[in-house]
Chains A and B, each alone.
Chain A
């Protein structure tokens, strides 16, 4: 995390990892950028081919290495570039979200959203909301790797 975000005067700044599908959500993020919309710099975007590509270990590793919240964003159901990737992703991520909550994570820490490539505004809005929710929850200590203490 950049030092600017960690200045005491800025208060607590969460780190959010957003896994965005290449075809919709990542393009949605691009559109937000080219349309000069702003969204919090707390969000780090990682591009994945499809939300069906999501390996649950991506999410857990993010939590281990400093993420306070993880968001997975994919195409709206029915719009998948690979036809059925997000249908499968929806089932898998639903089961996984429930499991993560069962293990003791707050429900807001891990979210899944559908953002299309034409929804730059929605992308910015979701990132705002996610950041606000995680800010309210405070830093995540669950599953944090003991050798990976963040500066906050």
Chain B
């Protein structure tokens, strides 16, 4: 099976079960195995029995902080297992006043990155039955035998470009921190698109966005999309037309990305959740890049005390239009 490390899992389970049984937390948000071995879905544990299903493996991609929006309505105190990106998502919700810090216990889990099943399956060639991991290698068990591949090459894009594998906010760190890691240039795709002409860029986006089903999975998975009523569901005015056409897809994606201007923590959940693989992170990163360029470096979600750039101003700010 895909358990990364049973020892780690036991450590986690021990820590959280103590708190759950003593009543320090009413509910624990964690992960359990999903229908397939390469899926780990959210677990909502409120008893010892539930905790038996807890898992911590290389497929725990789902960002759990987002579920606090619902769970804090029914529970006084909730514990959450947070990876690096989940912890930044928590800061995002905290800054938006969507959660109360004293009602949440964060258990920090330094995350070595989530594996991308599509990459694993492509590497395996024939039918992939499972994986094991050791020393930075992933061993693929296929029908034709075993294949060993480098773990770093099998990571999801959002993880291979992750800047903060360690939680930035937590009450209790459960595992050894991994430290900052070196990452490739994360604005590479944005730079490449910027180098194209307007027409080419439009053609690119028209093609990518034409696949959009408007299932709004990107919004549901997103920690910055925490509005109780989203503009796409608003009836009056009805911003988002119901017609299925490129124009409406553009409206949705531009506005969705823009609502994250200066707020997006770049966790890549939108892109992971997208069933038709639209490169949504490129829109978000374009905004991150521009705002950093114009108004100074800002990493959303890293420090909940630091003011987001679009909530403030300086009288001598530069402008992106020709007139200052």
Contact = CB atoms under 8 A, between A and B. Distances in A.
Interface in A77-121: 77-78, 84, 87-88, 90-107, 111-114
A64 interface: yes
A96 B291 CA distance: 10
Contacts of A132: none
Interface in A46-97: 56-57, 60-61, 64, 77-78, 84, 87-88, 90-97
Interface residues of B, number: 47
Nearest to A57: B239
Interface string B170-194: 0000000000000000000010011
Contacts of B117: none
B231 interface: yes
Contact of B320 (A94, A103, A104, A147): A94
Contacts of A44: none
A104 B205 contact: yes
A90 B310 CA distance: 10
A87 B33 CA distance: 49
A103 B254 contact: yes
B321 A97 contact: yes
A93 B290 contact: no
B315 A100 contact: no
A142 B120 CA distance: 39
A100, A104, A147 pick with most chain B CB within 10 angstroms: A104
A103 B323 contact: no
A98 B290 CA distance: 7
B323 A91 contact: no
B103 to A, nearest CB: 32
Contact of A143 (B251, B258, B313, B322): B251
B280 to A, nearest CB: 13
Interface string A16-36: 000000000000000000000
A128 B247 CA distance: 29
Contact of B257 (A99, A114, A144): A99
B230 interface: no
Interface in B135-152: none
B202 A64 contact: no
Interface residues of A, number: 38
A116 to B, nearest CB: 13
A102 B202 contact: no
A151 interface: no
B122 interface: no
Contacts of A103: 201-202, 205, 250, 254, 283
A56 B322 CA distance: 19
A103, A145, A146 pick with most chain B CB within 10 angstroms: A103
A60 B254 contact: yes
A77 B315 contact: yes
Nearest to B204: A104
A120 B134 CA distance: 73
B243 A147 contact: yes
A84 B204 CA distance: 37
Interface in B188-247: 190, 193-194, 198-206, 231, 239, 241, 243, 245-247
A58 B64 CA distance: 34
B295 interface: yes
Nearest to B241: A145
A102 B192 CA distance: 11
A99 B286 contact: yes
B21 interface: no
Nearest to A115: B323
A88 B321 contact: no
B122 to A, nearest CB: 30
Given A57-B255, A142-B202, 6 more contacts: A60-B255, A95-B310, A99-B286, A114-B323, A145-B241, A145-B248
Interface of B: 190, 193-194, 198-206, 231, 239, 241, 243, 245-248, 250-251, 254-255, 257-258, 261-262, 283, 286-287, 290-291, 294-295, 309-310, 313-315, 317-323
29 contacts: A57-B231, A57-B239, A57-B251, A87-B314, A87-B315, A88-B313, A90-B313, A92-B261, A92-B310, A93-B320, A94-B290, A95-B287, A95-B294, A95-B310, A98-B286, A98-B320, A100-B254, A102-B201, A102-B286, A103-B201, A104-B205, A113-B323, A142-B202, A143-B246, A143-B250, A145-B241, A145-B243, A145-B247, A145-B248
